[in-house]
Structure 1
Amino acid sequence: MISSAPVIILHGGAGYWEGKNLDSVNSALREASRRGFEEFRRGSSIEAVVEAISFMEDSGVFDAGKGSVKNSEGEVEMDAGIMDGKTLSAGSVVLVRTGSPIRKALEVMKKGKHVIIAERKGNSNTTFNSGKGGDTVGAVALDLEGRIVAGTSTGGISGKEPGRIGDSPIPGAGFYATERVGVSSTGIGEVILRVLPAKEVDTLVSMGILLDDALNSVVNKVSRMFGKGNIGMIGVSKYGDVSAHFNTKGMPRCYQNKEKIQCLVFDGDFS
């Protein structure tokens, strides 16, 4: 559907959401969307994306930030990444054990010297919940100046090997943004890393394909290659159209513009 800038879209992870506490999920998504959208009044889409994802990290509802699952040694290792489509600047952090991963990724992007930084192992001073969060979180925003920003944050997969890094902090896989489009991915990292779906969406859009068709095409491609149940994607184009596609049972998602906010979990399109 066609929206108008400013606009933000976010997700709470593609996966099996049936039977889960969807009230708390929808509540967290709506509040994250509201907080992110409020940042348009004070800043750009960079601040909008970071604020929305940071709230989801702090909510404990999702597998990100305080809701992160633990690895096989009982430790939390979080990843996050962000990209500015106007400058193609990107910043990511991996194996983070404290604080807000998305805010740390923003600092990496601002410094500009490197793209991906691994956090040295240390003692966590962050209080985590029971590790029963949902899934990866992400957001994409378009501001009034036409800047598109995309970001993703995750706690990874439960019981993973220590040091495992998935798709979420990798530009082109877990997130990507240009002046044309911004995308955030979610699902099984070991699948997504081999396809680089976020970058492929941008490539298709650059060829004149509409955002919704591009997202649908890439998700269908992944399904043909690896089966279903492994990917979900959200996106925003430079024209302000928003879209989401997934091949899992569900993917909690919300979008907001100056007129309304709408949230969905299972099949359905934004109206």
Structure 2
Amino acid sequence: MDEKNGLAERFESHRPHLRAVAYRMLGSRSEADDAVQESWLHLTRADTSGIENLGGWLTTVVARVCLGMLRSRTSRHEEPQGAQVPEPISSDKDGSNPETDMLQADSVGLALLVVLEKLVPAERVAFVLHDMFAVPFEEIAPIVGRSPAAARQLASRARRRVQGADAVPDVPLTRQREVVDAFLAASRAGDFDALLAVLDPEVVLRADSTAVSFGSQSELRGAHAVANNFKGRAQAARPALVNGDVAAVWAPGGKPRVVIDITVAHGKIVEINLLADPEHLRQLDLAILDA
């Protein structure tokens, strides 16, 4: 009994780090908790006498569990749940600090949300493990079933996409508000030309699975397609401050149902993300602005 209790205590000391890893991979707190619990079950069934680095062993196990969950989503042709994906963190060479991992895992980067969710499972696992938690490619390779060189390529491809999302320059809030207001006005009025004027020619619209269930397209590309999508719509959408940036929200009865997350660069809208997952919306720092 003492040995079992000792193992449980050691596992609990690693739980914050494991939850941070799983949360980054899955984008859902509930699924992350499920993956961590599954790693505990693996531990209780394993011969622990030969495990020298329990933290590393558990990280490998939870990564394999998460990879399986991500692949299961893909095989069912499911959209990711739209939960928040935090910004990358780095770990100390001698191991991650659990408290720091969990604190930073709860920080939110909406710009990374869609990018991470669009990565294929192996890319996401390789990127999260290496770039966010400093796991060597030699250890990542058997998890994703590739050679270390191939695992490095997976992370590199993922990194290019993430860096592309991070390359959007900061825009003052006053300018963001001007662009969002112009977009909403053009949408409500059904003014196609005014919509084109505020949209970047290469603008991308993406929606999470809940927004798709409301009738949205999962992805649209190009100003004409996005303008057609919003023409005559957004009648009840209101400007809002979401995680420090200006966006729009549909909130019937004052309860947010859909956030229209808008990224502005060089005076144009370059990306729109429709976020409607209830768990995700509850976690947002959201304030509806006066019209």
For Structure 1 versus Structure 2, the TM-score category normalised by the shorter chain is under 0.3
Structure with a larger share of its residues in helix: 2
Structure whose CA Rg is larger: 2
